[in-house]
Each structure stands twice: as structure tokens, then as C-alpha cells.
Amino acid sequence: MPRTVDKEAQRRIVGDALLGLVSEHGLDGVSVRTVAAAAGKSAGAVQKYFSGKDDMLRFAAELVGERVEHRMDAVDPEGGTGAVLRELVLATLPVDPPRRAEAAVRQAFATRAVHHEELAAIQRETDRAVRAALTEWFEELWEHGRLEPGADCGHLADAVIALADGFTMRMLYAPDECDSLVAALDTALARLVPVG
Amino acid sequence: MPRTVDKEAQRRIVGDALLGLVSEHGLDGVSVRTVAAAAGKSAGAVQKYFSGKDDMLRFAAELVGERVEHRMDAVDPEGGTGAVLRELVLATLPVDPPRRAEAAVRQAFATRAVHHEELAAIQRETDRAVRAALTEWFEELWEHGRLEPGADCGHLADAVIALADGFTMRMLYAPDECDSLVAALDTALARLVPVG
DNA sequence: CTCTATAGAATACGACCGTATCCTTACGAG
DNA sequence: CTCGTAAGGATACGGTCGTATTCTATAGAG
């Protein structure tokens, strides 16, 4: 067998370049050629790694999912119950350049998913994982009596996710209101999840 | 002076066609030609009404803003305080085909606004109006003692908007979870805004 | 070393894009 | 009625898109 190369590693490099491009210019700035250039490769090269643009987008969307879950796992360290939840949500909010870049990417893919069933399935899978983790976290709180008896942990998780996504969207196109919005988030979380 | 025509009316017709196209295929499905076809006109005709595609998008974005405010004004009739707030939020959620179409359009423009300052300004203006109305509504509640004394009406409005936007986004790419998400919204609203 | 299959670049092709430029038609002022 | 002007259709142009195809060079098996 002749010359070979780690295809999965190359796909990851190209996927990273694609996500960088999306964070800067949205999905509209993504073409096979611009992605290849951003990855330091020729357009012909990326054609060897992906069967087409759709394959590229699907791969990148899964990369985004991985990153979200990884970012939430990284918060886990304990602290005040309310503070941990706050950090859990802030981890995904566009409050600094790197988080803003990632949030812009998530929003771009979520919007494309509205009319793209394959991407929608990936979005739903990511949501399912995040929701499961959050629900489990709430259930632990509940078992320790730090949550009122009647609380529905699943609904609570959905509400926190929606709150995070909603604030994310607004912060993305209104960066100046970021501080005020974080304050609003804090009061909302305090009301939604009254830490025992 | 020769033959004339109501330009603003024509702009509105073309804008409507554009929004219909966006609701079906996203902003990617929008080109001067496709919009013209959807409006039953030739591509050359719409060029007489708009200075370019950007002008067209800007006009359509303002149309969306008008519709949102109009839709919220239409809810106003009184009822149980909690029920009114619920209806106010549900009015913008994609719970049936027409509302889904409008929500998809809003999300598409919000996402483009992330990298398009002109559209972002329009989004912020719409948000400002909605937030002001909601804040005023909360302040009335507060003055009637139906809200706890320390409540920050502005922050509450921001939280409700974020909640609505977040649930909207998720419902758009996960329509099957719609019922469950509405249930989560109800519990979230009950906790966020404890109706006296 | 030789040969072959692959990496990767370059190029080609047809489609669609936004916009500019005609051209024909028909209304309305004089 | 006549004529200038706006309406609106048709077409042209340069550019970019996704993808298919072609070519060269190189790494590894024998």
C-alpha cells in the first residue's frame, strides 16, 4: 500500500478551520475554497477528506456538540450550589471573545438546522446530552433536599437551557448590553432555582 | 408626469414574499430572482423598488419588527394575570404553522444580525420596544402589589424575553418536543413571575 | 529499485448569484 | 392626441459556488 495519512486528524483540522470561519462570518462565509484556505490546504485536498460540503458541515456540527459538552464538563468543580449553576450557564454565554466565537457558531448551526433535518438531528442529540446532565444535577440537588419537593427537574433543565440560549442570542447581536443581561440572568436563575 | 405606482406598497408586497421565502428555506433561499418570482414579479421589477439586496433585507427585517410588536399588542385583553403573560409569550412561540413561520424568520434575521451591524441595529430596536412594553406591564403589576416588592421589572422582562427566544429556537429544530417544552415554559414562568 | 496507489494541487464545468444595462410598453401631463 | 417618463421585462457580465476530472509527485510494499 502506498502513501497514507491520518484522515480523521485531517478532517478535524479542516473542521476547526470551518468553525473559525463560521464564528467570524457566519455560515455564509463558508465555502469549500474558503475553508480549505483557512486550513492552509488546497480546495482539492479537502475534497479527499469529505464527500462534499454537506459532509463537512455535518462533521463540524458534531465537533460543536463535543465542544459544548466538554465545556460543561470542565465546570463541574463544586462550590456554592447557586454559583455552580451560574458558572454552568456562563460557560456557554458569549461573555468573552472565545465564548462569543463558540456561541456564534452554535447559533449559526442551530438556525441552519431549522431547515436541515440532518443538522437538526445533531442539535437534538447535543441538547439531549446537556439536558440529561443538567437534569441529573438537579435531581442530586433534589435528593439532598436543596430543591423544593414538587420541583420537576426535567422542566427545570429545559428552562435553564432556554434561558441560556435566549440570553446568548441577544448578547450576540447586542454585545453592549452584555453586563445588564448577565445581571438579568442572575436574578432569573435565583428565581428559577431557589438554592436551598 | 407619466405613469406612476405606489412604491411603498410594492416594497411591502416584495417584502412579504421575501419573508415567506425565509420562513420556508431560511435566508439562504433568498435571492433577488427567487424573491421576485415569489412576489409574482420579474427580477428587473424589484430592482426598481430596492437599491439592492441589502436594502431588501433591511426592509424585510423592519417588517418583522412591526409584526412582532403587532402580535404582542393583539394579546393585550385582560384575564388572569398569569394567563395573560403566558399568552404574551405563546404569541411568539412556534406552536402552530403561522407562528412557526414567523419564528423561523425572526431566528434567521437574528442570526444574520450577529455579523451584520445594520440588521443588528434593527433587532436591538425591536427588542427595545418589546422590552419596554413588557417592563411597563410588570411595573403595573408591581404597583398593584401583585409582584413582590424587590422585583426588578427590567430584569424580569429580559428574562422572559430570553426564555421565549430560547424555547423558540429549540422548538424550531425539535418540533416534536413542542408540548413538553410548553409545559417547561409554564413551570418556568410560574417560578419567574409568581403571580400574586 | 520498481511499481502502484494515494495525496494533494490544479483545472474545468455548469449553475446561480448580484447588479448594470438595455428595450418595450403604457400611463398621464400638456 | 402627443410625447416624455416611469414601469417593468429581458439580457448581459463578472464573480463565486459545488463538484468532477485530471495531473504530478511521493511514500510504501514487493
How does pLDDT run across B67-95, given as a tens digit for each residue?
Answer: 999 999 998 777 888 899 999 999 999 99
The reply to whether residue B162 touches residue A166, judged by beta carbons under 8 angstroms, is yes
- Given a cut of 90, whether residue B156 has pLDDT beyond it is yes
Q: Which nucleotide is nearest to A28 (CA to C1')?
A: D17
Whether the CB of B3 is less than 7 Å away from nucleic strand D comes out as yes
The pLDDT of residue A81 is 86
Q: Which nucleotide is nearest to A2 (CA to C1')?
A: D28
The reply to whether residue A161 touches residue B158, judged by beta carbons under 8 angstroms, is no
The pLDDT of residue B77 is 74
The reply to whether residue B111 touches residue A113, judged by beta carbons under 8 angstroms, is no
Question: What mean pLDDT comes out for the span A83-102?
Answer: 97
* pLDDT classification of A82: cutoffs 50, 70, 90: confident
Set of chain B residues whose Cβ sits within 8 Å of the Cβ of A180: 158
HSE, side-chain direction, 13 A CA sphere, residue A40: 3
The pLDDT of residue A196 is 66
* B99-148 tens-digit pLDDT: 999 999 999 999 999 999 999 999 999 999 999 999 999 999 999 999 99
Residue burial B88-122, b: 16+ Cβ < 10 Å; e: rest:
bbbbbbbbeeebbbbbbbbbbbbbbbbbbeebbeb
The pLDDT of residue B129 is 97
The pLDDT of residue A39 is 98
User: Read out DSSP for A103-164?
Assistant: HHHHHHHHHHHTT-HHHHHHHHHHHHHHHHHHHHHHHHHHHTT-S-TT--HHHHHHHHHHHH
Question: Other CB atoms closer than 10 Å to residue B31's CB: what's the count?
Answer: 12
pTM of the model: 0.96
The pLDDT of residue A5 is 81
User: What amino acid is encoded at B3 in this protein?
Assistant: R
- Given a cut of 80, whether residue A26 has pLDDT beyond it is yes
Question: What mean pLDDT comes out for the span A63-70?
Answer: 96
Name the protein residue, with chain letter, whose CA is nearest the C1' of C3. A2
The CA distances from residue A30 to A105, A184, B80, B115, in Å, are 12, 34, 49, 13
Q: What span, in angstroms and rounded, lies between the C-alpha atoms of B29 and B98? A: 19
By percentage, how much of chain B surpasses pLDDT 70? 99
Q: What span, in angstroms and rounded, lies between the C-alpha atoms of B164 and B46? A: 35
**B31 CA vs D5 C1’ separation (Å):** 29
Of residues B113, B152, B164, nearest to A187 (C-beta): B152
Question: Other CB atoms closer than 10 Å to residue A58's CB: what's the count?
Answer: 19
Q: What span, in angstroms and rounded, lies between the C-alpha atoms of B13 and B98? A: 18
Set of chain B residues whose Cβ sits within 8 Å of the Cβ of A170: 127, 158, 161-162, 165
Please choose, from the candidates B78, B85, B89, B80, the residue with its C-alpha nearest in 3D space to the C-alpha of residue B138: B85
Q: Name the residue with higher pLDDT: A79 or A56.
A: A56
Count of A-B CB contacts under 8 Å: 162
The pLDDT of residue B4 is 83
Question: What mean pLDDT comes out for the span A166-188?
Answer: 98
**A29 CA vs D18 C1’ separation (Å):** 14
Q: Helix (H) and strand (E) counts for chain B?
A: 9, 0
Best residue of A24, A85, A90, A114 to probe chain B, by most B CBs closer than 10 Å: A114
Contacts of B119 (CB under 8 A, 6+ apart): A173, B57, B58, B61, B109, B112, B113
Three cell numbers written together for B7: 412604491
The reply to whether residue B115 touches residue A187, judged by beta carbons under 8 angstroms, is no
The reply to whether residue A166 touches residue B166, judged by beta carbons under 8 angstroms, is yes
The pLDDT of residue B196 is 66
Q: Which nucleotide is nearest to B6 (CA to C1')?
A: D7
The pLDDT of residue B37 is 98
Which bases along strand D come within 7 Å of a protein CB atom? 4-11, 16-22, 25-29
The reply to whether residue A187 touches residue B123, judged by beta carbons under 8 angstroms, is no
Query: A55 vs chain B: nearest CA distance in angstroms?
Result: 18
The pLDDT of residue B1 is 62
Set of chain B residues whose Cβ sits within 8 Å of the Cβ of A108: 111, 114
* pLDDT classification of A2: cutoffs 50, 70, 90: confident
The pLDDT of residue A77 is 74
Q: Name the residue with higher pLDDT: B76 or B191.
A: B191
Cβ–Cβ under 8 Å, residues A94 and A171: yes
**B90 CA vs D19 C1’ separation (Å):** 44
The pLDDT of residue A9 is 96
* A95-129 tens-digit pLDDT: 999 999 999 999 999 999 999 999 999 999 999 99
As a whole number, the mean pLDDT across chain A is: 95
Lowest mean pLDDT among A28-32, A80-84, A184-188, B98-102: A80-84
Name all contacts of A41-47 with Cβ < 8 Å and 24+ positions apart.
A41/A14, A46/A14
Cβ–Cβ under 8 Å, residues A187 and A91: no
Q: Give the nearest chain B residue to A119 (CA atoms).
A: B173
The pLDDT of residue A1 is 63
Question: Other CB atoms closer than 10 Å to residue B160's CB: what's the count?
Answer: 27
Cβ–Cβ under 8 Å, residues A45 and A36: yes
The reply to whether residue B114 touches residue A120, judged by beta carbons under 8 angstroms, is no
